[in-house]
């Protein structure tokens, strides 16, 4: 097990205050380090999650951020895996400690996904993150591919437009209690009828925003954690990753996130747990339907759509999904997303999440899940509460 002794993030939004990704990364790092209660000289490695050089205009960002953080002698590594970037960076940090190469690792995710480029340019770049030859050059957008995948899923599981609306209402409603959220909204069913159609059945309200922001974790070997954190800090007990064919048309079941199921199984096996033991989860909801596809692949409910309709994934449900608001409500600076998910899970397990979102019951285990492409590069992290909660 690896302890999460520090966890923090900046607000996720569109920054227009003259700051840049290095400022946000420093803010998140310093907050996580303060929570951890360790000196910067204690940190052996810095793992930076950043999806695209086009956003930061900075090649080799890990060395630059190491300079800004005062970690000039630390090992540095930049991780990139599309939407899974942040979660893969968490895994790289865990592996550094498990291998014995580090006692303390800082994991920082950051991207100026909203303010770096015009929206059309960013959408074009995201098209290139699929298969460039078959999708990117043809002008296929992420929204259209996700819409096709949802259509296949909905046909098999009898999903409806009301289900898409319910996910959106739930997540943006959760974001109302999250001071870091980009889109806190109290939607009504009428709002969706007035929202422009992007790629059927996805209207604009069913899509996550482009966001700026950063998130950070301080990971520790169990025997290295400060005394005041050792018994309270949540533990990363399982990690798993897997990949699928990039092209939806090449897959046997384009509505199924098969790689996510494999990634989750690997994480559960490592943790010695089952999906039924997960009390709370942050899952990848770049689009409303993708949340239900992810929940199905992760095995978090026997009948996910029925559970959604019955309120089982609500804040007061049996397994709250995306209490943060998810990508749809909290926002989606890509490199920061998976790191922020893990930070949210750690804070929830420790009972120190945002007022109005922290469940009033003990939480034993949590799950954080991201993917790049349409369920192509999948990464899952399982966390467990500390020995003393």
388 band by pLDDT with thresholds 50, 70 and 90: low
Asked if the model's pLDDT at residue 346 lies above 70, the reply is yes
Interior angle at CA 217, CA 336 and CA 184, nearest 5? 45
For 2-117+210-384, CATH number out of 3.30.565.10, 1.10.1240.10, 3.40.47.10, 3.40.470.10 equals 3.40.47.10
Distance (Å, whole) CA 342 – CA 335: 12
Q: Which of 378, 160, 130 is nearest to 248 (CA)?
A: 130
Place of tokens 């089952």: 274
Q: Which of 349, 377, 43 is nearest to 217 (CA)?
A: 43
Model confidence pLDDT, tens digit, residues 241-261? 999 999 998 999 999 999 999
Model confidence, pTM: 0.96
Distance (Å, whole) CA 347 – CA 200: 37
Model confidence pLDDT, tens digit, residues 182-231? 999 999 989 999 999 999 999 999 999 999 999 999 999 999 988 888 88
Q: What's the mean pLDDT in 168-190?
A: 96
Write down the domain spans for the chain.
Answer: 2-117+210-384
Interior angle at CA 268, CA 158 and CA 365, nearest 5? 90
Distance (Å, whole) CA 244 – CA 263: 11
Contact 333, 110 (CB under 8 A): yes
β-strands 212-220, 235-243 pairing:
unpaired
Asked if the model's pLDDT at residue 42 lies above 80, the reply is yes
């Amino acid at each position: 097990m690896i302890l999460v002794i520090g966890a923090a993030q900046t607000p996720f939004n569109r920054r227009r205050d003259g700051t840049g990704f290095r400022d946000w990364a420093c803010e998140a790092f310093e907050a996580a380090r303060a929570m951890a209660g360790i000196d910067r000289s204690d940190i052996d490695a810095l793992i930076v999650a950043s999806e695209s050089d086009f956003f930061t205009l900075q090649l080799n960002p890990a060395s630059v951020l190491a300079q800004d953080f005062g970690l000039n002698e630390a090992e540095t590594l930049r991780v990139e895996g599309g939407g899974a970037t942040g979660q893969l960076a968490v895994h790289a940090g865990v592996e550094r400690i498990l291998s014995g190469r580090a006692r303390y690792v800082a994991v920082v995710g950051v991207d100026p996904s909203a303010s770096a480029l015009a929206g059309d340019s960013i959408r074009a770049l995201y098209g290139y993150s699929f298969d460039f030859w078959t999708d990117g050059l043809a002008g296929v957008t992420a929204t259209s591919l996700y819409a096709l995948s949802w259509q296949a899923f909905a046909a098999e599981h009898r999903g409806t437009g009301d289900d898409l609306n319910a996910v959106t209402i739930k997540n943006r409603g959760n974001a109302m209690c999250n001071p870091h959220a980009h889109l806190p909204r109290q939607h009504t069913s009428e709002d969706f009828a007035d929202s422009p159609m992007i790629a059927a059945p996805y209207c604009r309200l069913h899509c996550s925003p482009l966001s700026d922001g950063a998130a950070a974790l301080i990971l520790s070997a169990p025997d290295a954690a400060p005394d005041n954190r050792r018994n309270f800090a949540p533990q990363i007990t399982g990690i798993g990753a897997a990949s699928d064919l990039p092209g939806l048309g090449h897959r046997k079941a384009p509505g199924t996130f098969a790689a996510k199921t494999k990634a989750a199984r690997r994480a559960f096996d490592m943790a010695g747990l089952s999906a039924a033991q997960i009390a709370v989860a942050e899952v990848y909801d770049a689009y409303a339907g993708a949340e239900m596809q992810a929940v199905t692949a992760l095995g978090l409910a026997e009948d996910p759509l029925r559970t959604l309709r019955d309120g089982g994934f609500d804040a007061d449900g049996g397994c709250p999904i995306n209490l943060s608001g998810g990508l749809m409500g909290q926002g989606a600076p890509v490199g920061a997303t998976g790191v922020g998910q893990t930070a949210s899970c750690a804070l929830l397990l420790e009972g120190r999440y945002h007022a109005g979102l922290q469940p009033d019951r003990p939480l034993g285990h949590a799950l954080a899940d991201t993917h790049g492409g349409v369920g192509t590069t999948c990464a899952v992290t399982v966390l467990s509460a500390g020995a003393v909660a």
